[in-house]
Amino acid sequence: MRLSVDFAADRSGTAELAWGQRDIWEAIQKVGPDNAHYFNVPRLLAVPGAGGPRSPRAVAAALAQVMGRHDALRSLVRLGAEGPYQEVAAAGTLPIETVEVARDAADGAAADLVARLAGRSFGDGEQPLRAGLVVCDGAATHVALVLNHVVADWHAADVVVRDLRMLLLRGAIAGPPPSQLLDLVRDESMASARSDRAIAQWETLLRTPCRPPCSRKRPERARRRDTRGPCCRRPGSTAPARCWPAAPASAPPPSCSWRSPCCCAS
Examine residue 200 and state whether it is found in any structural domain, yes or no.
no
This prediction has a pTM of 0.70
CATH code of residue 99: 3.30.559.10
Q: Is 104 helix (H, G, I), strand (E, B) or coil?
A: helix
Least confident segment among 58-62, 186-190, 246-250: 246-250
Strand order across the 139-147 sheet? 2-8, 91-100, 129-136, 139-147, 41-46
* 200 CB burial (10 A radius; 0-12, 13-18, 19+): exposed
CA-wise closest residue to 96 among 180, 164, 178:
164
Examine residue 76 and state whether it is found in any structural domain, yes or no.
yes
CA–CA separation, 58 and 143 (whole Å): 12
Number of domains in the chain: 1
CA–CA separation, 161 and 66 (whole Å): 9
Examine residue 70 and state whether it is found in any structural domain, yes or no.
yes
pLDDT exceeding 70 applies to what percent of the chain? 73
**Residue type, position 170, single letter:** R
pLDDT at site 220? 61
Highest mean pLDDT (candidates 161-170, 176-185, 203-212, 249-258): 161-170
Q: Which residues pair with 232 in a beta bridge?
A: 242
Examine residue 122 and state whether it is found in any structural domain, yes or no.
yes
Examine residue 237 and state whether it is found in any structural domain, yes or no.
no
Examine residue 192 and state whether it is found in any structural domain, yes or no.
no
CA-CA-CA-CA torsion for 113, 114, 115, 118, nearest 10 degrees?
Answer: 130
pLDDT at site 209? 72
Q: Is 60 exceeded by the pLDDT of residue 192? A: no
Tens-place pLDDT, residues 8-41 = 999 999 999 999 999 999 999 999 999 999 999 9
- Residue pair 67/7 in contact (Cβ under 8 Å)? The answer is yes
pLDDT at site 264? 42
Average pLDDT in the chain: 83
Q: Which domain holds residue 36?
A: 2-174
**pLDDT (mean) for 171-181:** 84
CA–CA separation, 83 and 112 (whole Å): 36
pLDDT at site 262? 44
Examine residue 44 and state whether it is found in any structural domain, yes or no.
yes
Q: 215 to each of 67, 139, 219, 220, 222, how far by Cα in Å?
A: 72, 92, 12, 15, 21
- Residue pair 135/98 in contact (Cβ under 8 Å)? The answer is yes
Q: Is 60 exceeded by the pLDDT of residue 232? A: no
Comparing 265 with 47, which gets the higher pLDDT? 47
Axis-axis angle for helices 56-69, 154-170 (nearest 10): 130
pLDDT at site 77? 94
Examine residue 206 and state whether it is found in any structural domain, yes or no.
no
